[in-house]
Amino acid sequence: MLYYNEKYVIVLSSAYHGYYVEDLLRRNSIPNTFKRAPRAIGPSCHTAIYIQEKDLDKAMELINKVNVSVKGVYELIQIGGMYDYRKIQ
């Protein structure tokens, strides 16, 4: 379930990184949803941060400043009631 009409998924390698980035983005007024990464784009231990299109550049700038390793950034593409993912980074 998406809460903020998110369009992008940032995949991280661990739950710790996910919690850290979720808090970092919230402290900087970037709404986000933290969830386990979909199997289509990450192994079971990977986590994902879902964000809106308007916040992608600012979010990536903040994440890069704290040296958290991003496994990939994907665009969400809704097809009916399902989602597909297109890697953009």
Q: What is the CATH number of the domain that holds 44?
A: 3.30.70.1530
Task: Write down the pLDDT at residue 5.
Answer: 79
Question: Is the whole model's pTM more than 0.85, yes or no?
Answer: yes
On whether residue 33 sits in a domain, the answer given is yes
Task: Write down the pLDDT at residue 42.
Answer: 80
Q: Is 73:60 a contact under the CB 8 Å cutoff? A: yes
Task: Write down the pLDDT at residue 72.
Answer: 95
Task: Write down the pLDDT at residue 43.
Answer: 78
The domain total for the chain is 1
On whether residue 17 sits in a domain, the answer given is yes
On whether residue 36 sits in a domain, the answer given is yes
On whether residue 1 sits in a domain, the answer given is no
Q: How many CB atoms lie within 10 A of CB 12?
A: 26
pLDDT digit of tens for each residue in the chain (89 aa)?
566 678 999 999 999 999 999 999 999 999 999 999 988 888 778 999 999 999 999 999 999 999 999 999 999 998 888 889 999 98
User: Which residues share a beta bridge with 33?
Assistant: 50
Q: Is 47:35 a contact under the CB 8 Å cutoff? A: yes
Domain that holds residue 27: 8-87
On whether residue 3 sits in a domain, the answer given is no
